[in-house]
Structure 1
């Protein structure tokens, strides 16, 4: 687990979907003056050099943010997301990719509380330096799965939780379900956004149904599920076909915002002729 470095995957199709959803959730939270808390359970380093050796190894960003970065005609939510990435780069050229803490830093207000958790010691040091001057911010090297007991409910009774572990070990799938159950027990009104990889793996295939069961039993405003499928597995059944986001208590605007963007994402990021998307919602 501590060997995982997100820089190998920075800016890929999964990051595009994850950060598009996160950005729209935070924009929605900003519509009210009352501060809120964002808990990022697996925060990473905050930002990544796309010209560095990690990102260049497989150059996954070429099938992700790079395919959108210079497009003039994009749906409005997708255009806003690309502008966030532009804001993280100097001089307009795509050299850096913002992780979720950097997306949050650009969108959150100084009165909003940011709580980031990261276990990898190198990623943690980079993240601490990046967020050192942001007010109302805490960065911790503790386990993000266990953090929800301390973080929820938040002081202002408004919160977003982002859960996106690497899923390098199968135990992460059960931990994600447990974390959602914990979050709903402690703060049933909170928005929880969970990223997952689409794999030919039983745990991956069963995860969404397990999350739906938890959400339907406890969430006050239902759930939303979006999946972007861009690739085929290899001959042995390995490889990430795509990824998804499961959002509990989603903003009421999110479904229609994603519906605007998903055909473009399939067209620009799909690597196979039958690339597709799924968007479903159960209102509260």
Structure 2
């Protein structure tokens, strides 16, 4: 695998993914019982937008860069306050990855496992979050970790509630769904009460129709999609938006998305094709 997220840190897909991730953490933390979070494709945990690789693509300018000096609309204040906290700790050019955000949003009684297969990225991740006693870093395949680490147990403690974030690089493009869905089905059998979030890119929506049909058959209590388009989804050559497939979303989480997604569309949209979608593929009973 050759993917390096540094090229894409802070882009519009990160903004959607990370804003929704924080909302998921807050919704799950509304109950006092401890949580376990598994980040299957964690990356290095912290990025710097003045890194030569990030500067080469300038993707952050169409994502987090849109908020520089702007007044934050209410639905985005939670996300932007987390970015501000990261920058107070690590400098104005820093941008947090999902491991940093999970550690920021979750509580002392919660536990986090972060998986990263690439040795250099895993080493960097350990340097960023390894001193946090709540966080375990595993240099291993994230899909295999879903089979090995679920249901979660840390010492003598078992966790009935939690979150699994699956954020693969899609180097195999649509073939990635075969492995992701196989791991999701097995994980649901092991830990059916958890919330699962699978991020996916959108180039042309028609290419995703098969994924939607397959997702609706997963034996979860509910299946929903939350999507953000920053431009028309009419080109297979670039990422025009992205989405999250959510299994067992927290109660009334759709209300949070209906506030968040229009605010993101207004902030990040690039042309008349920009828009958002929140839809149930399998509504809760």
TM-score, L = length of structure 1 = 0.91
The separation in 2 between residues aligned to 1:178 and 1:149, in whole angstroms, is 10
8 Å CA contact 1:163–1:194 kept in 2: the answer is yes
The separation in 2 between residues aligned to 1:262 and 1:31, in whole angstroms, is 21
The separation in 2 between residues aligned to 1:14 and 1:156, in whole angstroms, is 30
- Structure 1 residue 178: deviation in Å? 0.9
The separation in 2 between residues aligned to 1:255 and 1:75, in whole angstroms, is 17
Given candidates 149, 152, 159, the residue that maps to 2:150 is 152
Following superposition of structure 1 onto structure 2, how do residues 62-77 of structure 1 map, counting pairs within 5 Å? 62-76=61-75
User: Which residue matches 1:213?
Assistant: 217
1:227 matches 2:222: no
Aligned length, in residue pairs? 277
8 Å CA contact 1:191–1:249 kept in 2: the answer is yes
8 Å CA contact 1:11–1:60 kept in 2: the answer is yes
User: Which residue matches 1:166?
Assistant: 169
User: Which residue matches 2:115?
Assistant: 117
Q: Deviations along 1:223-244, whole A, 9 cap, x unmatched?
A: 2211111124687x31111000
Q: Deviations along 1:194-221, whole A, 9 cap, x unmatched?
A: 100012387644223211221xxx213x
8 Å CA contact 2:112–2:134 kept in 1: the answer is yes
Structure 1, gaps ≥5 residues long: none
User: Which residue matches 2:202?
Assistant: 198
The separation in 2 between residues aligned to 1:259 and 1:113, in whole angstroms, is 29
- Structure 1 residue 22: deviation in Å? 0.8
8 Å CA contact 2:203–2:234 kept in 1: the answer is no
Structure 2, gaps ≥5 residues long: 153-157
- Structure 1 residue 270: deviation in Å? 1.1
Following superposition of structure 1 onto structure 2, how do residues 99-118 of structure 1 map, counting pairs within 5 Å? 99-118=97-116
- Structure 1 residue 93: deviation in Å? 7.0
Q: Which moved more, 1:248-257 or 1:86-95?
A: 86-95
Aligned to 2:87, the other structure's residue is in SS state coil
User: Which residue matches 2:155?
Assistant: none
User: Which residue matches 1:183?
Assistant: 187
